[in-house]
Chain A
Amino acid sequence: MKKKLNGLCFLDLKNIKKLLLVLKLTAILLFLGMITAYSSNSYSQVTKFTLNLKDVTLKQLFQEIEDNSEFIFIYSDDLIDVTKSVKVKAKQDNIEEVLNQAFKGLGYDFVIDDRQIIINQNNKYSSTLSTTLQEKTVTGKVISTTGEPIPGATVIVKGTVKGTTTDPEGNFTLAHVTEDAVLVISFVGMKSQEIVVGEEGQLVIVLEEDVVGVEEVVVTALGIEKKAKALGYAAQELGTTELDVAREGNIGNALSGKVAGVRITRGSGGVGGSTSIIVRGVNSLKGSNMPLFVVDGVPITNIGHSSGGTNGDLDTGDGIGDLNSEDIESMQVLKGPSASALYGSRGANGVILITTKSGAKKKGIGVEINSNVSFENINLLPKRQNLYATGYGSLGSEVEIPAGSGQFYPTIVHAVDNWGPPMDGSIIVSDPYLMPGEAPRTMPLLPQPEDNIIDFYQTGLATSNTIAISSSGDKTTTRLSLGNTTNKGIIPNWSLNKQTVSFSANSQVTDNLSFTGKFIFIRDEGNNRPYLGGGGSNVSNYLMFMARTVPLDFLKKYYEETGTFGSFPGVFYNPYYIVNELKNNDVKDRYIGQISLNLKLNSWLSLLGRFGSDVYTQKGVQIWPVGARSSNAPGRLINDIDIVKDLNADAILSANKDISSTLNINGIIGASISHQRREGSRQNGYRLKAPKVYNIGNCTEIQNSEYLSRKEIQSVYFTGQVGYKNYLFLDITGRNDWSSTLGINNYSFFYPSVSTSFVFTDALESIPSDILTFGKIRASWAQVGNDASPYLTSSGYALTTTTYEGKNLSWINSEVPLVDLKNELTEAWEIGADLRFLKNRLSVDATYYNSKTTNQIVPMNLSSSTGYSNVIINAGEIQNKGVELTLNLTPIKTRSGFRWDINFNYAANRSKVVELGPGIESLTLASSGYAGYVEARVGRPFGDIIGRDFAKAPDGRLLVNDLGYYYAASETSVLGSVSPKWTGGLNNTLSFKGFSLNVLLDIVQGNSVMSNTMFMLEGKGLAPHTLEGRRPQFTDEEGNEMPYINVLDGVHEVDDGSGNITYVENDIAISGMNTWAQRAWGGITKSFVLDGSYVSLREVILSYSLSPSLLKNIPVSGIKLSAVGRNLFYIENHMKDIGISPESAPNTSASSAGIETYTRPSTRTWGFNVKINF
């Protein structure tokens, strides 16, 4: 037996041989990498200068050196007179020799610290290190290059916890500072500066604006930091400020409208529910299309709710929703395969890199408190007609009231369709809404107030508090954060609670060895989450389709006094009974941890070992009491346990070496293993023996089931980058994966990528930097493989765990496996440009990409007559091509500090299903449950909505049948697409001093939604437009009003018997019911496919950061107050006629995103946020 620990065997004798083989391979690669590097020279020794300068000032010399190298001179104008003229003659000399020559006789000395050269007066710095130094009070002023004072800049004594911030005039004072102390001055958006205190009293520090992007470092695949300018592919980052104020329950939602080419679809689960994220269109027909989430270099599991919209289950949230947005430093979206190629199989749909916060950037202890309170209320409510009662034209049977009086009154028909008599109060009916024992009485037939169901809902309240303590010393930084989130939903009794504990530690153990450990614990608890879709327990469903006569307060009273749901005309199921009696609870305990060791082997070579695990257990309970409706009537209990483990280990050797002053080579080789295990069990118990005892032992009938799904991927990979003169870069990567989910001879697959970036503004100095400040073009090509879900390569016989008359049952699986299963392969290329004008006042980033995914793993549907439902095949191709555009503009920026920033992003993706498989023209992806489907059709974009249009005559007029109503065309046709034509976001930020106002519009255009709500509202005569043609207009000869009132505009098809078809104008009068209900029940899909385009006012944030001068006398370094509104309203919503949100996609599966089923009313949130730093 293998010794297994958490599903992994750490040292397995049987596998040692293989292990050694891998190690040998690694060693060879390592050796190759090292040949180039047999000595360890510092930059100062390698960099050689050839100079011949006469009568230049020191300043000119420094400039010359800075221009030709990466050296930076640091000095104080007060101490060093840079106007002194010097002469230097050097031929392939190093910096030390050059400077010794230059400083000869000037009385200055210097210290070289890597690329920094600190200049001071002789005997003031370098030679007096050992002497005791005087402590003094230092004062200074921090200004910008234009001479404006910079308030709020941080001034820290390097290596200590001592520090301060500048006042509004940019001045600072620090007491008890030694003369040799180095001050580090930093401010957001500026390059940090270090300065030696020295003897002089008043320091002036000039901070240069940090030209964003030029030296900006971005985190790329595997956590490798790269210069933004060296990237050969598009990557977009969201920073802290964008994440922590406008808190969303799910951090995935925070990406809405902010990142070009990323489409976010909130699940209908609402707060705490799952979110769908699709990057650059759908690549895989049947596989997952969700990007991989990587937290600090380690992949985490993100399993969301993905079942179709018509079944009524719970959405207990997804993986990324667990993270506390307060702990997140930044999110980086790696969009194309080039960016994510190193993640291999798991990164085929893009990668979202999450960097969590670690110890304070400044020395010392830092405390940060973030408090948030927000309210949620209904934004859109389904619209219903308020004129006609239940039934079909007439009223129901007569009741004698009072008994024996001979006075008879009709009843309201006990139906759920609303084609009944008008509710104008003119008819008196027997009141069906009676408490038990109440004497029969009458009431006028009148509707309830419009939108009365809003009274059922409540205002949601969410609070979130995080406290983070960080400390930073010389060797170690740590951060501990505690977060608590509570959430009360808009549906009574719905609540969510989340606690997070996050700890990270970073330690420089020795000069060469550093250690990082991170640990996050999350407890996520949901109570009475609302059931979704068309299931029997979705309360929104019942409220939406409730007849207009039903008094909500009566239903409440009836439930409260009797404890039962009762049975009343126009009520499927008493909503108060549902929310109070049908309960559910789920608790997830999740542990995300990682340790990594980084060993610096020499100045350019280091080795990283990393182990990460993401483990959680989720336990769910659902109960239906004795007396509940439907098959749950005798009481029912479901216990679910799901255990998910995602373990990852990497060993990465990385090198970074300057071959010459113009050529830098860096790269890594690595090996990793990923093991994913999901298992779970369900106990489904029926028929409670004792009521209200919800223990599985109390059930008479118990169905047990369990599942286990395992997957392992082993990989080796390398990446290398060559940089020439810091403006031309070439990146190559390669990775080989061995995935357990593929066919026995196809475990292994390799894929490469190449990308290049050229910063032409650096290369061509003739470009005036005032106009084109920065310019880069990039290009890349990559292949990425995508493996399969487990268990597609073998089959057999399924076995029930339930019994029939005490017997277990078994049957042959209906899916034919593919023994030789191969990986899917995505090949993509992209080109792009990053241009920044007018000193970054305007910047444009544009990308064009083109990708195709071939060899799709598709379950090809089979005719049932084969005996099977489908067969797994490797076939099919999808193409995606598109453009992404990001535009940043700062139209106004005044000296007084007013600033207006505009960020606009746009993405248009065009997908095409090129091939599906031999002889397959279409593949059903999802069903609406009624008359519509989502299909992939050859030659069409991904995700066509398929259904029946109205039957039409050749001239396009609608056909009417013999009964006088429209009917469905005999052939199905494409009625829309779930894929938008383009998506975008427009973000405006206005800031002035401490104030800032942020307004974000989120735009999705050109997609369709198949609305089951519309289908039902129309079919049941509840939609307001079904009023048309209801009123009796004709009277018969005896003066009776006849309900035939509508003659549909259309023609009849008349066949004269010999095949000649003529079209005759329709003249058949029909009832309002047949006018509308026949569309739904007649399966005219077209009438409920709606335009899903929208423009949403997604986010408005007003925030104010207290001026540091106000905080002088209290031990607080920063306070930020914000008011936040989210999802406020739709500027454009083509579904507002039925009162639902076009974002009501029921689940996170890409293909089902176009199907809406009885969703909860959409909501807006608004709230306040306070952030305090100590």
Chain B
Amino acid sequence: MRIMEKINKTIFILLCISSVLLIDACTDNYKELNTDPAILNEDIVNVDLILTYLEKEAFRDQASAGYRTYGSYCGMCRRDDDGPFSDRPSGGIWSAVYRNLLNNSNDIIRLIDMKEDKADLVNKTAIARIIKAWSVAYLTDTYGDVPYTEACLPMDQVNYHPKYDLQKDIYADMFKELKEAAAQLNTSKESFGSADLVYQGDPAKWKKLANSLRLRQALRVCYADADLAKAQMSDLSESDLITAVADDAVFPYSDDQPEYRNPRFVYVTSFGSATNDQVFAHKVMIDVMMNDGVNLDPRIKLYADTVKCLFKGGISPNGYEVPNWLYRGRPTLGAVDPIYQSPWLSETVSRLADFWRVAITKPAIMKSSEVYFNLAEAKLRGLLPAGFTGTANEYYQKAIDLSIEWYQDFYDLTAPQIPELYALLYPTMTEDAIAEYLEYKKMQDADIEAFKATPIYTLAGTFEEQLEMIINQKIIALYPDEYQGWTEYRRTGYPKIPIGPDKSPLKGVIPRREVWPEIEETLNPEKYEEVLARFGGKVSRGDRILWWDANPDAPHEYIWPDGEAPSMPTGY
């Protein structure tokens, strides 16, 4: 019995102490413990929050993708270094589009589809579908064949190794999405409202954007499948498109956080000096806007600054004679010997005007001017349905007018921000000097009229000549959307771009696409091998493998023969 007593006593003591020490001795609360309170689950997440995110990622962050690089590929601007012809694969657009754009747009559609009142939320679904279509176009226009039907599935159905769809098939679905979304939009139903920073949820305006996007993408396939282009345009009418600057689809940079401002502002202020924004006006765009040296395009003032010639006696350190140019652009050279670069040292070429570097601007998703350039070209090609009664030249002139109007608005938006920017960049610059600069940069009506009187304002010549005129002007209108500029160049071969005797792997061939990220070889090997096999096992950025990249006459770039010393241009 003594034994039992002892045991009992021990157990009792153990109980007393353990009851203090053994706490929560169960796993009932483990699920709650292991749930991150900072993460919203799908029952409570609001799709409006996802939409704002989606728009910011698409129209703010992607709008600046390829900044300085794609500009070198279409004559819009010229980066400082000589690496535009590298053949390295690029994964930036790839991961951003899939993870941030497609996944979230799919998810908005999925979340709404799970709701009981989904019939009342068609506008939200339609807007998500339009952004999705924009994203898909951006993705496939960059890479060509990409995973699409098996990509971006919900978390519980993820396909780890999605197959690469044909670009042609992706286009078909994208056209379908744009068409159905436009049809789905209903002005009498609920929409996103203020969460939509593009159109505040306005279904009518989204419908115009959907149609304008469809026009853009339809024109893109005109060399590959003119019938498809024609078919996609057949149900459009002018009133269904973005036809006024006020309806332009734009997305604002935000002052809420420093990193949400204009990336060029962030870049230039991060170095505390504008000279570190190593990007210059391009020879191609300057040459077009110089308009043969008479009656300059009035927009040139806002595009670029005049050359600041700092050398004594007009002689540069390299011994070149430097006349007092007004505007001078830098060509795309590639990896060339320094002797080819010398004529375009930074002191002898125009810098982009600082208007592009202010904190808050509104990058465009689709401008009315582009719509009219598209109509002009479609008309020229005979793709438009009967409802479009204007001539190609009328559309062309309307497009230029709208572009000039846009540049005027741009000046109004940016000029008030210049003093703040200059306080950071050039603290010694006086208020008077800034005011004088701003006054000089204002487009004058007389200049506009004089410009419109020149031959450049009227379409003339052969089909190819007219097309070149349209694209040359379109580049000016599209600026600073370097990506769309590059895409126009790839499609049509315009504007013509002179290139130096490049010795880099691409040998002066302007890239036709981005190459799928190298990591695909590791992460999705089977499907990656499969798509490579479609194009002979190995692809380069210079290969014309995009389905719509089918203009037999392109490219038109002029490459200086190796060894031929460049002569100094006579200047303007």
Binding site for B on A (CB under 8 A): 2, 8-12, 14-15, 18-19, 21-23, 26-27, 30-31, 34, 38, 393-398, 400, 408, 410, 414, 536, 567, 597, 599, 601-602, 605, 607, 609-611, 629-631, 633, 649-651, 653, 671, 673, 675, 686, 701, 703, 706-712, 714, 738, 740-741, 744, 747, 790-791, 793-800, 802-814, 816-817, 861-869, 871, 919, 921-922, 961-963
> Do B155 and A795 touch (CB < 8 A)?
yes
The distance from the CB of A833 to the nearest CB of chain B, in whole angstroms, is 40
Interface on B for A, CB 8 Å cutoff? 3, 6-7, 9-11, 13-15, 17-31, 33-42, 45-46, 48-50, 52-54, 56-57, 91, 94-95, 98-100, 102-104, 106-107, 146-147, 151-153, 155, 158-162, 194-195, 197, 252, 254, 256-260, 266, 269-273, 275, 310-312, 317-318, 335, 337-338, 347, 424, 503-504, 517, 519-520, 522-525
Q: Which 3 A-B pairs have the closest CB atoms?
A: A18-B26, A867-B152, A810-B49
**A803 pairs with B317, CB closer than 8 A:** no
How many A-B pairs fall under 8 Å by CB? 309
Whole-angstrom distance between the alpha carbons of A12 and B522 in the complex? Answer: 51
List residues of chain B with CB within 8 A of the CB of A602.
6
* Contacting residue for A799 out of B7, B49, B266, CB 8 A: B49
How far is the CB of B276 from the nearest CB of chain A, in Å? 9
- Which chain B residue has the least Cβ–Cβ distance from A671? B22
A809/B52 contact (C-beta < 8 A), A651-B18, A816-B158, A868-B155 known: yes
- Inter-subunit contact B24/A15 (CB<8 Å): yes
Report whether A868 and B103 are in contact in the complex, using a CB–CB cutoff of 8 Å: yes
B7 interface neighbour in A34, A607, A812, Cβ under 8 Å: A34
Q: In the complex, what distance in Å separates the CA atom of A396 from the CA atom of B35?
A: 60
| Contact of B311 with A867 in the complex, beta carbons under 8 Å | no
Give A813 to B45 CA distance when docked, in angstroms: 12
Q: How far is the CB of A44 from chain B (nearest CB, A)?
A: 22
Q: Is the CB of A808 within 8 A of B49?
A: yes
Q: Are B524 and A863 in touch, CB under 8 angstroms?
A: yes
- Min C-beta distance of B299 to chain A, whole Å: 28
A867 near B256 with CB under 8 A, answer no
Among the listed A15, A631, A708, which residue makes an inter-chain contact with B28, where contact means beta carbons less than 8 Å apart?
A: A15
List B contacts of A609 (CB < 8 A). Answer: 17-18, 20-21
The answer to whether A712 and B30 have CB atoms under 8 Å apart is yes
15 cross-chain CB contacts under 8 A: A19-B25, A397-B317, A611-B21, A630-B269, A633-B269, A633-B272, A795-B39, A796-B42, A803-B254, A806-B256, A809-B50, A866-B160, A867-B99, A867-B151, A868-B103
B337, closest chain A residue (CB): A963
Question: Cα distance A629–B268 when bound, in Å?
Answer: 11
A407 to B454, CA, bound (A): 46
Contact A703 B13 (CB under 8 A): no
Other than A741-B34, A816-B158, A867-B158, give 19 A-B pairs with Cβ distance below 8 A.
Answer: A38-B3, A397-B317, A398-B317, A597-B17, A607-B14, A607-B17, A651-B21, A673-B22, A708-B38, A712-B33, A714-B24, A797-B40, A798-B38, A802-B257, A804-B52, A804-B257, A811-B57, A867-B98, A867-B99
Q: How far is the CA of A672 from the CA of B523 in the complex (A)?
A: 42
Hey, which chain B residues are within 8 Å of A814, CB to CB? Answer: 99, 103
Contact B270 A395 (CB under 8 A): no
Q: Distance in Å from the Cβ of B421 to the closest Cβ of chain A?
A: 12
Bound form: Cα–Cα A863–B521 in Å: 9
Are A796's CB and B28's CB within 8 A? no
Whether B23 pairs with A799 at a CB distance below 8 angstroms is no
Asked if A651 meets B17 with Cβ closer than 8 Å, knowing A790-B36, A802-B256, the reply is: yes
Q: How far is the CA of A822 from the CA of B124 in the complex (A)?
A: 40
Evaluate contact between A963 and B503: CB separation under 8 angstroms: yes
Residue of B nearest to A1070 (CB): B337
A866 touches B158 (CB 8 A): yes
The reply to whether B197 and A807 form a contact with Cβ atoms under 8 Å apart is: yes
Shortest Cβ gap from A650 to chain B (Å):
7
Contact of A30 among B11, B162, B517 (CB under 8 A): B11
A799 CA to B44 CA in the complex, in Å? 12
Q: How far is the CA of A922 from the CA of B519 in the complex (A)?
A: 11
A630-B272, A867-B158 known; A19-B52 Cβ under 8 A: no
**A865-B524 CB under 8 A given contacts A11-B19, A649-B21, A686-B257:** yes
Contacts of A862 in B (CB 8 A): 158, 160, 523
Question: How many Å from the CB of B8 to the closest CB on chain A?
Answer: 10
Asked if B197 and A804 make an inter-chain contact with CB atoms under 8 angstroms apart, the answer reads yes
8 Å CB contact of B56 from A22, A611, A809 = A809
- In whole angstroms, how far apart are the Cα atoms of A955 and B252 in the complex? 57
Known contacts A805-B254, A810-B49, A862-B158, A744 near B31 by CB under 8 Å: yes
Tell me, rounded to whole Å, the shortest Cβ–Cβ distance linking A527 to chain B. Answer: 26
Expressed in whole angstroms, the Cα–Cα distance for A740 and B35 within the complex equals 10
Q: Which residue of B lies closest to A802 (CB)?
A: B257
Interface pair B13/A798, CB less than 8 Å apart: no
Contact B34 A791 (CB under 8 A): yes
* Contact between chains at A631 and B266 (CB < 8 Å): yes
With a CB–CB cut-off of 8 A, which chain B residues contact A599? 13, 17
User: Given A605-B10, A797-B50, A811-B53, are A706 and B335 neighbors across the interface (CB < 8 Å)?
Assistant: no
Partner of A26, one of B14, B20, B100, B522: B14
**Is the beta-carbon distance between B98 and A798 smaller than 8 angstroms?**
no
Interchain CB contact under 8 A, A919 and B41: no
- Set B30, B37, B525: member contacting A747, Cβ < 8 A: B30
In the assembled complex, which residues on chain A have CB atoms less than 8 Å from the CB atom of B517?
A: 864
Which residues from B are CB-within-8-Å of A394? Answer: 317-318
Query: Smallest Cβ distance from B324 to chain A, in angstroms?
Result: 15
Contact between chains at A711 and B33 (CB < 8 Å): yes
> In angstroms, how far is the closest chain B Cβ from the Cβ of A710?
5
**Are B317 and A810 in contact, with the CB atoms below 8 A?**
no
The answer on a CB contact under 8 Å between A919 and B525 is yes
Contact assessment for A408 and B257 in the assembled complex, using a CB-CB cutoff below 8 Å: no
Q: Which of B10, B40, B95, B257 contacts A34 (CB 8 A)?
A: B10
A807 B25 Cβ-Cβ under 8 A:
no
Q: How far is the CA of A62 from the CA of B422 in the complex (A)?
A: 99
A730 to B256, CA, bound (A): 67
CA distance A659 to B31 in the complex (A): 47
Which of B6, B34, B94 is within 8 Å of A793, CB to CB?
Answer: B34
Whether B103 contacts A631 by the Cβ 8 Å rule is: no
| Contact B17–A794 (Cβ < 8 Å) | no
| A738, A798, A863 interface centre (most CB from chain B within 10 Å) | A863
Distance, CA A599 to CA B16, complexed state (A): 12
Q: How far is the CB of B21 from chain A (nearest CB, A)?
A: 4
Contacts A601-B13, A796-B45, A871-B158: A631 and B38 contacting too (C-beta < 8 A)?
A: no
A397-B311 contact, Cβ under 8 Å, with A19-B22, A602-B6: yes
CB distance from B227 to the nearest CB of A (A): 30
Instruction: From the candidates B10, B25, B153, B260, name the one contacting A15 in the complex (CB within 8 A).
Output: B25
Docked Cα-Cα span, A610 to B20, in Å, equals: 10
CB distance from A626 to the nearest CB of B (A): 11
Query: Which residues of B have CB within 8 Å of A796?
Result: 36, 39-42, 45
Contacts of A610 in B (CB 8 A): 21
- The answer to whether B49 and A807 have CB atoms under 8 Å apart is yes
Report yes or no: B161 in contact with A867, Cβ–Cβ below 8 A: no
Which A residues are in CB contact (< 8 Å) with B42? 796-797
A782 to chain B, nearest CB (A): 25
Q: What is the CB-to-nearest-CB distance from A336 to chain B, in angstroms, rounded to a whole number?
A: 29
In the complex, chain A residues whose CB is within 8 Å of the CB of B152: 865-867
Residue of B nearest to A687 (CB): B258
In angstroms, Cα B95 to Cα A440, docked, is 52
Given contacts A27-B14, A797-B40, contact A738 B99 (CB under 8 A): no
Q: Are B21 and A810 in contact (CB under 8 A)?
A: no
Task: Among B160, B520, B524, point to the contact of A871 (Cβ < 8 A).
Answer: B160
| Closest chain B residue, CB of each to CB of A649 | B21
Question: Could you tell me the distance between the alpha carbons of A791 and B37 in the complex, rounded to whole angstroms?
Answer: 10
Q: How far is the CA of A808 from the CA of B256 in the complex (A)?
A: 11
Contact call B98/A865, Cβ cutoff below 8 A: yes
CA of A278 to CA of B316 in the docked complex: distance in angstroms?
60
A633 and B34 contacting across the interface, CB-CB below 8 Å: no
Task: Name the distance in Å between A1066's Cβ and chain B's nearest Cβ.
Answer: 14
Interface residue from B24, B100, B194 paired with A8 (Cβ < 8 Å): B24
